[in-house]
Amino acid sequence: MTVLDKYDLTLTIQNLDEQGLVLFDTKGRSVRISVSEWRNQEAHIAEPATDITIVSTAGILAGWIESHKLENFEDRCIVPLKSLAPMPSDFCFDAYCSHLVDHGGFFEGENWECAGCGRLLVFNDKR
């Protein structure tokens, strides 16, 4: 099963650019599938020039990462295996944030502001 089949995507001429196939998620972010070479728990890929990169190796989708988080090294990017997020159930690549558990936050009267993503979180506990 391909990404096109799994997410029921339709291709148009807008899905082609100078580097090949580019897709768009439900929020309009550009997405590219990059075939990788694995070395020492890292994937080595060509620079994707998109917002989101799906990493593939040997026909298997390993996961996705926001492209600005990629580590550039000469003519390629290096992606640590543990930094890949699992493929979503729909074609929307929102980054998961565990908010206060991992990042902590700041209490702003009625809300907490996550120190990781900046999102305001409402808690009903008034203790």
Please report where in the chains the tokens 């640590």 appear, as a residue: 80
3-state class percentages of the chain: helix first, strand second, coil last, to nearest 5:
15, 40, 45
pTM of the entire predicted model: 0.73
Q: Quick one: average pLDDT of 99-112?
A: 71
Band of pLDDT at residue 126, cut at 50, 70 and 90? very low
Determine the distance from the C-alpha atom of residue 15 to the mean position of all C-alpha atoms in its chain, rounded to a whole number: 19
pLDDT tens, position by position, 1-45? 588 889 999 999 999 998 889 999 999 999 999 999 988 888 999
| Domain locations in the chain as residue ranges | 3-83, 97-127
Please report where in the chains the tokens 């990404």 appear, as a residue: 3
d(CA 56, CA 20): 15
* DSSP-assigned letter for residue 85: B
Determine the distance from the C-alpha atom of residue 88 to the mean position of all C-alpha atoms in its chain, rounded to a whole number: 10
